[in-house]
Structure formats: structure tokens, C-alpha cells
A and B are shown apart, each in its own frame.
Chain A
């Protein structure tokens, strides 16, 4: 694998992890009594940018390298199910993340006044951030499993 592709691969992982960190920070901060919604709006925007970046970089790696060089190794080995279940789920479930992050961002950005007063809305959006970062965590764990299958 070329140095360029290694960089792309690392940056797509980094983007996903940064998105997760921002969403976790968002969720924990939102549950505070005196949550700063202007700041949280920025944090959720950064999470959205991180997932969009990871989408483009991960997509580039997947399209130019995974199918040609990684998939054949996995499908010829003892862990064919890793491609058929784990990779297939990862590449499709990842597509949910930018839309979840966009929803968290837009609700926070457009309605800070309503959010600061409506405890039910705050709780539901915090839970939305939680489910988004849980899916991102699942995708990250799936990535580790796929890397493990290549080495075996």
C-alpha cells in the first residue's frame, strides 16, 4: 500500500474517532443544567465535518484499495464471514452517521432557545447523540475486526 493510501486510511479512522469524541462531549455537556448551546452547536458541527471527511476518505480507500487488495485476502482465508457480515454491515451502516450528526447539529443550531427550556427535547437529542456515537463505535470495532482478519 502506498504512503498516500496509508495516510488516507489513517485519516478516515481519525475522522471517525474525532466525530465520536465530539458527539460524546456534546452528549455529556448537553445534560448539564447550564449547557452552552452556542458552544454545543459548534461541537456538533465539528462532529458532522469529521464524519463527512471520514465518509469521503474511507470511501476513497474502500473503492481504490479494499476491493482489490484486502477483500481477496479475507475471502480466501478462514474468516470469510468477516467480509460478508462485518465489512458489509460497516460500509452500509456508516452511511447513517452523517445524517444523524446533521440532525443533532441542525436542531441545536436552529433551536437553542427551545432546547434550553424543553427538558424532553434536550434528553431526546442527547440520546440521539448517544445512538450516533454508539453506531460510530460499532463501525470502529468492525474496522478492528477487519484489520485482524487480514493479518490471519
Chain B
């Protein structure tokens, strides 16, 4: 096991899963069909997002470990930092804009 590639794959998978969680959040809010699908399969849309985030994270982790990403670990960590900050802001902005009727 290559520890550096595993660490890098974990960091990049985390950045990826934050994007996926944001997309699931927006799509389930705008598309009643997707929300109903999550509810029917997982009993509640939030449980669906939680379970899917773990499953997709695991798949991303395995995929990235096999691919062996070429970017440095330091850059990967900065990608995750930006992803976390950006999608936290965008999630808040999305619900604020939707509430005030902009979306």
C-alpha cells in the first residue's frame, strides 16, 4: 500500500464528495422526482444523501487510488479547502436565493 497515494486519494475524494453532496442537495430541492426517489429507496431524503455520500466517497477513493493522481498532496489539500469553503457558501446562497424567490 502506497501511503502517500492513499492520503492524496482520500483528500481528493473528500473534495469530490463535497461537490456531489452539493449537487444532490440542489437537485433534490429543485427536482421532486429525485427527492421522491431518495425517500422511496432510503425512507428519507437526508438518509439517502448520507448513505450515497459514503458509497460515492468509497468508490471515488478506490478509483483515485488506482488512477494515482499526479497532482501534489499539498495542492490536493488546497483543492479540498477551497471546495469546502466554496460549497458551504454556495449551499447557503442557494437556499437564501430560493427563499427570497430569486431562483
A81 close to B (CB within 8 Å): yes
Is the beta-carbon distance between A121 and B74 smaller than 8 angstroms?
yes
Contact string against A for B residues 44-70, beta-carbon threshold 8 Å, 1 for contact and 0 otherwise: 101101100100010000000000000
Q: Which residues of B contact A100 (CB under 8 A)?
A: 14, 80, 84
Q: Which residue of A lies closest to B9 (CB)?
A: A106
CB neighbours (8 Å) of A102 from chain B are 10, 14
Chain B: residues with Cβ within 8 Å of the partner, total of 37
Counting residue pairs across A and B whose Cβ atoms lie within 8 Å, the total is 98
- CB pair A106–B10 under 8 Å, yes or no, is yes
Q: Looking at the complex, which of A12-20, A23-31, A55-63 is the stretch in contact with chain B?
A: A55-63
Interface of A, secondary structure class, is helix
- Chain A residues, Cβ within 8 Å of B53: 95, 99
A-B contact pairs, 14 of them (CB 8 A): A59-B47, A63-B44, A85-B92, A92-B25, A96-B21, A96-B88, A99-B17, A100-B80, A103-B77, A106-B10, A107-B10, A128-B80, A128-B84, A138-B88
